């Protein structure tokens, strides 16, 4: 299984809603990532989890709250978002330690629209 699965594929929410994006991988990877991608722009790194611990937070606003319940799952909790937060949210995973080839495995993304 070489897949990273993201749900939902599409999400529309109001600025007062609370929603979550979910990501799952069963490749035994111990690093997981959230990227945000606006139209015609490159993916921007948001968070990195290493061994279920938050390792990198790229100065992301607190209305985005990541969670890594176990080594296979990564969530992104959304609350009080703004219309400019509308984007494609990509989850990725990679191996750790000596098995680390540097290859990131990406999911298909969750397309978020904030009204």
Partner 1 sequence: LAKTTQPISMDSYEGQEVNITCSHNNIATNDYITWYQQFPSQGPRFIIQGYKTKVTNEVASLFIPADRKSSTLSLPRVSLSDTAVYYCLVGDMRDPGGYNKLIFGAGTRLAVHP
Q: Per CB under 8 A, does 3 bind partner 1?
A: no
- Judged by CB under 8 A, the number of residues near partner 1 is 30
Q: Which residues pair with 90 in a beta bridge?
A: 35
Phi, psi for 11 (deg, rounded to 5): -145, 130
Q: Which of 45, 60, 73, 80 binds partner 1 (CB under 8 A)?
A: 45
Q: Which of 68, 90, 112, 114 binds partner 1 (CB under 8 A)?
A: 90
SS3 11: strand
| Of 73, 74, 76, 71, the residue nearest 29 (C-alpha) | 71
Can you give the binding site for partner 1, defined by CB under 8 A?
4, 30-31, 35, 42-45, 48, 50-51, 55-56, 88, 90, 92, 94, 96-97, 100-109, 111
């Amino acid at each position: 299984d070489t897949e990273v699965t993201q749900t939902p594929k599409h999400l529309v929410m109001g600025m007062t809603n609370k929603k979550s994006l979910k990501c799952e991988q069963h490749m035994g990877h111990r690093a997981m990532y959230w990227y945000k991608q606006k139209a015609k722009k490159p993916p921007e790194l948001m968070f990195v989890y290493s061994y279920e611990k938050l390792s990198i937070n790229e100065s992301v606003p607190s209305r985005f709250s990541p969670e890594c319940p176990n080594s296979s799952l990564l969530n992104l909790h959304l609350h009080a978002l703004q219309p400019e937060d509308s984007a494609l949210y990509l989850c990725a995973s990679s191996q750790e330690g000596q098995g680390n080839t540097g290859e990131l495995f990406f999911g298909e993304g969750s397309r978020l629209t904030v009204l």
